[in-house]
Structure formats: C-alpha cells, structure tokens
Amino acid sequence: MEPNVKRISRELKYQGAILKIYEDTVEVNGHEAHWDFIHHNGAAAVAPVNAEGKLLMVRQYRNALNRFTLEIPAGALDSPDEPKIQCAYRELEEETGYRTDHLEYLISVNTTVAFCDESIDIFVAKDLIPSSQHLDEDECIEVEPWAVEDLQQLIYKGEITDGKTIAAIMSYAQKYCTGAEKQA
C-alpha cells in the first residue's frame, strides 16, 4: 500500500547557473513535511571507445569533492529543451577532442533521487574522429585511454565514485564485453 503523498507548495529558495533549489511543503499520511528539492535541467554523457577498445576518460578537478576525478565526458544541457543526444555529441568533442558520426544510447541515470531530479542519458561513441578540444575557460581536462577491466578495478577499490561513470562502465562492460557481444 502506497502512502498518501501530496505536494502543497514549492518555493524557490536559490537559483544558480545550473541548479534551482526549492523548499517543498508536502503532506504525507496527513502530516506536513518540508523537503528540499533541487531541479537540474538534465545532462548527457558519453562512453567514447577508441580503436583499441579502450574508453577515453577525462580527469578533471571537481570542486564539490576538492579533488581530481576520473570520469566519462559529460555536460549539462544548454537549455531545458536541448535533445540529450545533441548535448552528448557536443560534450564528446569539447572534452575529448574527438567526434563521431553516430552515438548509441546505453542507459539513463537519475543521479540523486532523494532530493534532485537530474537525469543523464549516457551514450556510446565508436569510430572516433580526431578533432580538437573546446574547453570552457574554467575547465582543465586531461584525456586518458583506459581498459574496461582496469576501470572496473578502480570502481571496486573505491577510486572511481562518480555515479554516472560507474553506471556507464558497468553497463558498457555488460553489454559489449561479455558473451556473444564480445565476439561480434
């Protein structure tokens, strides 16, 4: 049996460059509660696969964690109505310096379902074409090719903790690196 939940109001508390933070007043089983809610317009990410079968990863500084992380290329939508696949094509080239003529949908991820509606579509890029990076002025990104098995080991050691990256690597490994798919 599902509890009776009804949103009574939503009040904008802060609006930043990519986030809007709200306070929701919600009635849950007859009791009033106040919940934080963060709205994000969405994002796209790419698992780029080079000719050797390695994933091109980006190493960049993440202020929220105060450290550099190893991730798949990704970025926020330029506008709420931008198609996520268009964003993925753009972010692939901007962050890695490679482009492709075809992206294949892999998986969608809601990053933090308890208080945020961010949704990221993740795509696979093969047949990479050399281009050039087009980094934002506040970005410093190094591109590194990695074997899928080595990336999985970094996940198991707790060295890769980014949710979209973990989902992408594990989904890619399951779909492309096992059984009949691996032999194709």
Shared-domain flag, residues 11 and 54: no
* Ordered alpha helix ranges (H), the chain: 84-96, 148-156, 163-176, 179-183
Look up the CATH number of the domain holding residue 55. 3.90.79.10
Percent share of the chain, pLDDT over 90: 87
Condensed to tens digits (0 to 9), the pLDDT of residues 37-53 reads 999 999 999 999 999 99
Owning domain of residue 23: 5-39
Q: Is residue 114 part of a domain?
A: no
Mean pLDDT of 131-139: 85
Shared-domain flag, residues 82 and 24: no
pLDDT of residue 111: 93
Shared-domain flag, residues 96 and 161: yes
Mean pLDDT of 13-28: 95
Those residues with Cβ within 8 angstroms of residue 46's Cβ, 6 or more apart along the chain or in another chain: 72, 73, 74, 88, 91, 92, 103, 122, 123, 124, 125
pLDDT at 2 over 70: no
Domain count, the chain: 2
Q: Is residue 11 part of a domain?
A: yes
**Active site positions, annotated:** 137
Global pTM? 0.91
Shared-domain flag, residues 17 and 96: no
Shared-domain flag, residues 60 and 83: yes
Shared-domain flag, residues 32 and 12: yes
pLDDT of residue 134: 86
